[in-house]
Amino acid sequence: MPAPAVDDPVLAWLLDEAVTLLEARRRADGRWLLEREVSNMHTARERKGRPSRWIAYRARRALRLWREGRRSR
């Protein structure tokens, strides 16, 4: 399901900034670090400052949805 089109220019700008930040935090190997301890079952075995599979999964999904939404406009 593609991301919905954003008609509000301020919201579109904020989303662009969020995607830029997300892409900037991606490491050269395509993964993201766990930046702080989180207590949920998905990150319970991951350590702060180390690559996180759960964060990478969520970030890749968000970027994919963002790109699909941008193409459909």
Domain boundaries in the chain?
A: 9-71
What pLDDT score does 42 carry? Answer: 60
Rounded Cα distance, 65 and 61, in Å: 6
Tens digits of residue pLDDT in 1-60: 445 566 788 888 888 899 999 999 999 999 999 888 766 666 567 888 899 888 899 999
For the entire predicted model, the pTM comes to 0.70
Contact indicator for 48, 32 with CB cutoff of 8 Å: no
C-alpha–C-alpha distance, residues 58 and 70, integer Å: 18
Distances (CA, A) of 6 to 13, 19, 42, 72: 10, 14, 31, 11
What does the chain come to in residues? Answer: 73
Q: Is the pLDDT of residue 71 over 70?
A: no
Q: How many Cβ atoms sit within 10 Å of the Cβ of residue 55?
A: 19
